């Protein structure tokens, strides 16, 4: 498994008293700041955490690296993995496929690490029955208008793409009731603190079903 110093927790040797780490699902609309919140958790919380690296069929964006940000797969390879049952969850988002590798989750949990899943509402719905001990958190914008401003400020997508993302965000937010906790990201420091507090409560080491 590729090592990634930038996206891993600062703790490399979790205590042996935690035989199995928790599974934390973090979802939210594109542009809400999930990556920033996760990066802060990994680098400043002091918790034994790992971010599960997903496989995707989309092309890498500028600066993204194989095995660091994603595993960039062909559609054929993705379908083969799905057919073999190698994916804990998978979804089609904006025309591309994304999936969570079972090995990314199970191996790290067995080592006592808490595993963070940065997945959408479709993926979360698949994971819940397979890992009922999960803790799920939905990160929300104060409003769709604020989210639109954030997407525009990123400067990475055209107007049509932003409108598609806003429509998807509205649909995702309609399913926020499926999550254990809601965190509104109107202030980054406060949102990080709220998510960190929830993650700290999640270290119980329960078993994840393989069905």
The predicted pLDDT at position 166 comes to: 85
The predicted pLDDT at position 157 comes to: 73
If DSSP states are collapsed to H, E and C, what string results for 21-44?
CCEEEEECCCCCCHHHHHHHHHHH
The predicted pLDDT at position 167 comes to: 83
Which CATH class, in words, describes the domain spanning 5-12+19-200?
alpha beta
Q: In the structure encoding, which two tokens stand for residue 18, read together?
A: 């935690």
If DSSP states are collapsed to H, E and C, what string results for the chain?
CCCCHHHECCCCCCCCCCCCCCEEEEECCCCCCHHHHHHHHHHHCCCCEEECCEEECCCCCCCCCECCCEEECCHHHHHHHHHHCCEEEEEEECCEEEEEEHHHHHHHHHCCCEEEEECCHHHHHHHHHHCCCCEEEEEECCCHHHHHHHHHHHCCCCHHHHHHHHHHHHHHHCCHHHCCEEEECCCHHHHHHHHHHHHHCCCCCCCCCCC
pTM given for the model: 0.79
The predicted pLDDT at position 22 comes to: 94
The predicted pLDDT at position 7 comes to: 44
The predicted pLDDT at position 61 comes to: 92
Per-residue confidence of the chain (211 residues) as pLDDT tens digits? 344 444 444 344 444 454 689 999 999 988 788 989 999 999 999 999 999 999 999 999 999 999 998 999 999 999 999 999 999 999 887 789 999 999 999 999 999 999 999 998 989 999 999 999 899 999 998 877 777 777 777 767 778 888 887 888 888 999 999 999 999 998 999 999 999 999 999 885 444 444 4
Spans of all domains in the chain:
5-12+19-200
The predicted pLDDT at position 75 comes to: 96
């Amino acid at each position: 498994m590729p090592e990634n110093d930038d996206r891993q927790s600062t703790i490399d040797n979790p205590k042996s008293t935690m035989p199995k780490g928790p599974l934390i699902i973090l979802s939210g609309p594109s542009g809400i700041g999930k990556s920033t919140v996760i990066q802060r958790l990994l680098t400043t919380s002091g918790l034994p955490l790992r971010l599960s690296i997903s496989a995707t069929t989309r092309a890498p964006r500028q600066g993204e690296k194989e095995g660091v940000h994603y595993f960039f797969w062909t559609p054929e390879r993705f379908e083969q993995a799905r057919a073999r049952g190698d994916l804990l969850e998978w979804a089609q988002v904006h025309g591309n496929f994304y999936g969570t590798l079972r090995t990314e989750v199970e191996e790290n949990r067995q080592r006592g690490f808490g595993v963070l899943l940065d997945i959408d509402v479709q993926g979360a719905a698949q994971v819940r029955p397979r890992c009922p001990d999960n803790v799920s958190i939905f990160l929300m914008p104060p409003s769709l208008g604020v989210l639109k401003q954030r997407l525009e400020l990123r400067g990475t997508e055209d107007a049509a793409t932003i409108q598609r993302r806003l429509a998807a965000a509205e649909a995702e937010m309609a399913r926020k009731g499926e999550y254990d906790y809601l965190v509104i990201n109107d202030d980054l420091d406060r949102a990080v603190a709220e998510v960190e507090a929830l993650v700290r409560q999640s270290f119980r080491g329960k078993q994840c079903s393989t069905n």
